[in-house]
Amino acid sequence: MRLTSTLVTGASSGIGRALALACAAPGRTLHLSGRDPARLADTEAACRGRGATVRTRTLDVADRAAMQDWIGDAGPLDLVLACAGLSGGPRRGEAGRARQEDAEQIRRIFAVNLDGVVNTVLPAIASMQAQDRVDGVRGRIAAIASVAAAVASPSAPAYGASKAAVDRWLVSNGGAFARAGIQLSSVCCGFVRTRMTESNRFPMPGIMEADRAATLILRGVAAGRRRVVFPWWLYAGARAMDLLPVSVVEALTSRQPGKAPQGT
């Protein structure tokens, strides 16, 4: 897989940072964005230390115009990785009231996790459509979904729904764009040790380090997989659980603590 020029959102921490580091090497150019200038600068320094040319931009993926300008100015791109994300769950309900998510948290999760991916993918597609094919491929685009996309869980309703939308959108469009030379991949990963999971107060089966996740993502994207899944058994379990009656799924998951707000 050619990686002369790679663009990564959410590069200031977590999976985005790990992917930026995995792609950093002499002769490669990285376009990195994030919302935290200090953490983004730290990623930039680490990638430069590996020999890469690095160009950073502090911005919010929910800002459509800013994303359009940034990606449009980046030049030819071999790989675009949409990694910016936000998690959160419902607060504990008072007696007689529903356990629910804060309204602003819901809107922000959808703005970052769904609109942010759209704001990344559409300009990337527009840029790649003008590029020449190399081994039949003009460019590759991957976005971080989640195993949470596979099952409706009351512990993180907006998070799971936003990731499900990302997964379905990319997978559904993948065939048409592949024929045009643009490969789309949805990454349905399980628990990864990042700032987003450090506040979770429940068991996280199969949790792995971010650098290991980055290796699996790049391997799957290079192989042309429409959906990159790991660990497979956790995803398979989530898919199987979603076939159960809703009342059973709720009984199995309702006691799980809600996710505290975290993001990249």
Of 70, 110, 159, 177, which one is the catalytic site residue? 159
Q: How confident is the model at residue 96 (pLDDT cuts 50, 70, 90)?
A: very low
Strand-strand pairing, 262-263 and 86-87: antiparallel
The Cα–Cα gap between 165 and 128 comes to 23
Do residues 14 and 8 make contact, with C-beta atoms less than 8 angstroms apart? no
Structure token digits, residue 145: 């979904």
Predicted TM-score of the model (pTM): 0.92
**pLDDT higher than threshold 60 for residue 95:** no
Give the residue-averaged pLDDT of 15-40: 97
- Residue-by-residue DSSP string for 210-251: HHHHHHHHHHHHHTT-SEEEESHHHHHHHHHHTTS-HHHHHH
Average pLDDT for 177-205: 87
Per-residue pLDDT of 105-144, as tens digits, reads: 999 999 999 999 999 999 999 999 999 999 999 999 999 9
Please confirm, yes or no, whether 235 is among the known catalytic residues: no
User: Which domains, from first to last, does the chain contain?
Assistant: 5-263 (3.40.50.720)
Q: Please choose, from the candidates 16, 3, 66, the residue with its C-alpha nearest in 3D space to the C-alpha of residue 43.
A: 16
Query: Percentage of residues in the chain with pLDDT exceeding 70?
Result: 92
Q: What is the pLDDT of residues 223-253, one digit of tens each?
A: 999 999 999 999 999 999 999 898 888 887 7
